[in-house]
Amino acid sequence: MMSRPPQFPVEDKIRIVLSVLAGEMTIAEAARRNKTSETSVSKWKAQFLEYGRQGLVAGGSAGPSAREQQLEAEIAELHAALGEAHVELRVWKKSAEGRLAPSRTSR
């Protein structure tokens, strides 16, 4: 049974990739020093460069994600429902005050 490679925290992957990109060590050296494979280091480097490139292509502000847009819509819907519930509560309170107030005709 082959053992699974160790999981590296994102901060460690970034540190390793940046040291390779800065020319401080080769991919082979980085892999050896960090007890991982050259394939892993190469993959991290490619991912880092791709996602960094995507960020620059988007102009640095990609705008809200689909999930963020969905959450914003849900928040707006909940605000509207809360406003409606608040108005209903005020109407009920006014109605109850009218029913509980002493009747002027009963005096």
CA atoms within 13 A on the CB side of 46: 6
Compute the distance between CA of residue 37 and CA of residue 41 in angstroms, rounded to an integer.
Answer: 7
CA–CA distance, 14 with 11 (Å, rounded to integer): 5
Domain range summary for the chain, segments of one domain joined by + = 10-57, 66-100
pLDDT of residue 60: 52
Which pLDDT score, from 0 to 100, does residue 105 have?
Answer: 62
- pTM for the full model? 0.49
CA 68/CA 54 separation, integer angstroms: 19
Higher pLDDT, 22 or 68: 22
How far is residue 4's CA from residue 21's CA, in Å, rounded to a whole number? 27
Q: How confident is the model at residue 99 (pLDDT cuts 50, 70, 90)?
A: confident
pLDDT digits (tens, 9 = 90+) for 46-87: 999 988 877 666 655 556 778 888 888 999 998 888 888 888
